[in-house]
Structure 1
Amino acid sequence: MTSLKSEVSLEVPVGAPAIYAVLADGWSYSSWVVGNAHIRDVDPEWPAPGSRIHHSVGAWPVNISDTTVVRDSVPDRLIDLEAKLWLLGTARVRISLEPLSGSSTRVVMQEGALSGPGRLMPDILQRLLLGPRNAEALSRLADFAVGRARQP
């Protein structure tokens, strides 16, 4: 198992099922994942282990098409992903949901390079590069989950 180099967390004022519902909706991925530009397809069994999101990264006209694969998933508790990015390699991204109360959840996002040039970066550099990006991703995920929870 690879070491996850970066960890950020955020307390979100909704229950874990509301947050997991966003994670389980592969089509919402580009709404909260920083750098993800477009979802091309989502396997029907998403977020079952082995299922994939087919996405594009980057700004037009320089879009790179790739996939993210579910390594593990436990409803209302976690999703563990392997994100691929063409020649740059792969990264492991683990999002854990820790219920604090019926209406509040601590969301923890951990990430680390699995393969490619990112594995050559010192741990401190990975943390410096991934931390702010993942903090923004958690903020977007929280806004998305809270907004969905408010809808009738």
Structure 2
Amino acid sequence: MVQVTRTIHAPVEEVFAVLADGWSYASWVVGASHIRGVDDTWPEVGARIHHSVGPWPCTIQDTTAIRAIDPPHSIELDARLWPIGAAVVRVELRAIDPTSCEAVMTERAVRGPSRLVPHAVQSLPLVPRNRESLSRLADLAEGGYRGARAEGRDA
């Protein structure tokens, strides 16, 4: 299992709002290039995001589904990328104070050929990719939070 952590300067609820918006998936998940559709039941268990991965014209079309969800604390996804395999990705949010939180992202290959790759080798691309994903998640959440505060709305 690969794990990365980041402090995000926005409340847990603001960060979770980004996770709960299936259409934002390609904005924060490194590698996801296009969202083709989001099930109407998103973000409920079993709901799926229909996405493309990779640069055009070499995209792979697949889905990511919710395995478990505990708003606003965590979401666990079944992220598919066939023929490479599938991984379970979990994002947990822990409040540091009312205006910031810690995001912990874990990923482990569970199906397909990627499951056979040694952990140390999997970590080489996954750690930097997942750090960048959390950085993008932070940018979206912090930007929304700052925008809401600037407009005088409760974030």
Smaller-chain TM-score range? over 0.9
Q: Is 1:7 matched with 2:18?
A: no
Taking the aligned partners of 1:37 and 1:127, their CA distance within structure 2 comes to: 22
Q: Which runs of 5+ in 2 are unaligned?
A: 149-155
**Mean CA deviation greater in 67-76 or 119-128:** 119-128
Once residues 34 and 143 of structure 1 are traced to their aligned partners in structure 2, the CA distance between those partners, rounded to angstroms, is 13
Q: Which one of the candidate residues 106, 121, 126 is aligned to 1:130?
A: 126
Figure out how many residues of one structure are paired with residues of the other and give that number.
Answer: 148
Kindly report the root-mean-square deviation, in angstroms, between the aligned alpha carbons of the 2 structures.
0.7
| 1:77 is aligned to 2:73 | yes
2:43 is the counterpart of 1:60: no
Instruction: Give the aligned partner of residue 47 of structure 1.
Output: 43
Aligned residue in 1 for 2:151: none
- Partner of 2:83, secondary structure, is helix
Match of 2:153? none
Cα distance in 1 for residues equivalent to 2:124 and 2:60: 24
TM-score (norm 1): 0.95
Q: Which residue of 1 aligns with 2:13?
A: 17
The residue type paired with residue 121 of structure 1 is: V
Identity %: 50
Q: CA shift at 1:129, angstroms?
A: 1.9
Give CA deviations for 1:13-32 in whole Å, capped at 9, x if unaligned.
11100000000000000001
Per the alignment, residue 114 of structure 1 pairs with 110
TM-score (norm 2): 0.93
1:97 aligns with 2:93: yes
